[in-house]
Amino acid sequence: MEWLGQAKINYTHSPDPISLKKKDGSDTTLLEICEQSTPPCNLNPLLFNGHLQTCWTAIKSDGPPLYYKRKVFEAENTSYAGSFCVDFVTQPSSGSSPDPDLPPRTTYFSDDEFVGIASLDSRPMLVALHGLSGGSYEVYLKHCLAPLVGAEGEKQWEACVVNSRGCAHHKITSSVLFNARSTWDCRQTVKWLRQKFPNRPLFGIGFSLGANILTNYVCEEGSNCELRAAVVLSSPWNLDVGSVGLQNTSIGLFYSSVMCGNLKKLAEKHKEQLIKNSKLDFKKLSETKYLHEFDRAIQCPTWGYPTEGAYYRDASSVDLLHAARIPIFAVNATDDPIALKQSLPYQEIQQTPYVILCTTSMGGHLSWFEIGGRRWHARPATNFLNKMAFEVESVVPVVEPVKADEDDLLAGRFNPLRRKWQM
């Protein structure tokens, strides 16, 4: 039946997923919530494989018309100096003219508007992280945010998008772009949101590379994470395995070259700032053709990694999953030509009670196109978030917190928080 667009759905999970206490007093599990959130996956039968699904994203569609107000933040941590921008979903503002230097339907907060943003309401708030070189304007992202912020009454959400440095028409103010481990801007944003909106439960959603970054952030925070739950869609998980897989086929190299081209345009756009980094060689950058070559030319010298493989292994979220201490619902398509099937963390998730992986046999990369242009991934994502926000009261912890300062080498223990790159 797959050739008619009906994808198979499978779940990977630990033998004992975490227990959840519902607001009506009943008990459930994370697996039950994820299964109840996931509708049948009936996709457009004309887009019958992952390549067609993924390539269809190039067809221009503006998606749901969300409106944003942008705030530029200065990084608090001097190790990651520079500015980054966060786009907050807002109502359309009458009388405001479009800003040609920003994405569509996006304007800056005025000083007075931003001072008045504080609220004591208890509406849930979603923090979104987009994919590689994307931004808050991405259609796959808006399909998830629109039904949440557009809900009526008590089920309405607030939302914001943390744009990776240099993306979404934001001009960087230092020689640092984003990377696959760049959790610092997400961390600062969540910290600010918690202080500004003390009554709002916070949730996260990440797409592709943003899913990898969000998972890294959630797991680095462990039991101190301010998010109540997270959704990660089309995460590449094991970047080293994925990179090797892309290099092994001609079609994989095609996708790699497209991603490299997008990043080269981004680097060229910010060359005035990046060239101040004496470690970067723009001649080498101009000669890159594939994603791994770009990372070799930019990420390795910027962060001190000896090879792109070392960077990929250190930035991957797969090992860090063992430190997850909030519910995570992950969704991947096994025919994804970019976040490859062999990169999926099946064994890790089977030992991680806080994570459920839902795989579909079709869907491509951040695609899942249904007949009529709707995106299937938005439905399990929003269903799960609504259930966690409005039906679930609390999580019953089952695993002790992981301590980053334990002397694991002497004790003979595996510590998922021990990373190679240090400040």
Q: Which residues are catalytic?
A: 208, 336, 365
Closest CA to 163 of 103, 234, 215, 110: 103
| CA 51 – CA 28 distance, rounded (Å) | 37
Task: Decide if 378 contacts 147 (C-beta within 8 A).
Answer: yes
Burial class (CB in 10 A: 0-12, 13-18, 19+), 316: buried
Q: Any long-range contacts for 393-398 (C-beta under 8 Å, 24+ apart)?
A: 393/20, 393/21, 393/22, 393/23, 394/20, 394/21, 395/18, 395/19, 395/20, 395/21, 395/326, 395/327, 396/18, 396/19, 396/20, 396/21, 397/18, 397/223, 397/325, 398/16, 398/18, 398/19, 398/353
Question: Whose structure tokens read 């796959």?
Answer: 140
Tokens of 324: 């997850």
| CA 202 – CA 392 distance, rounded (Å) | 14
Task: Decide if 206 contacts 212 (C-beta within 8 A).
Answer: yes
User: Which CA distances in Å does 351 have to 98, 304, 322?
Assistant: 49, 32, 8
CA angle 133, 138, 144 (to 5 degrees): 130
Task: Decide if 207 contacts 126 (C-beta within 8 A).
Answer: no
Q: How many CB atoms lie within 10 A of CB 216?
A: 23
Looking at residue 75, its amino acid is A
| CA 4 – CA 43 distance, rounded (Å) | 8
User: Which CA distances in Å does 44 have to 6, 231, 285, 313, 376?
Assistant: 9, 24, 39, 36, 10
**What sign does the CA torsion over 270, 271, 275, 281 have?**
positive
Tokens of 413: 């223990």
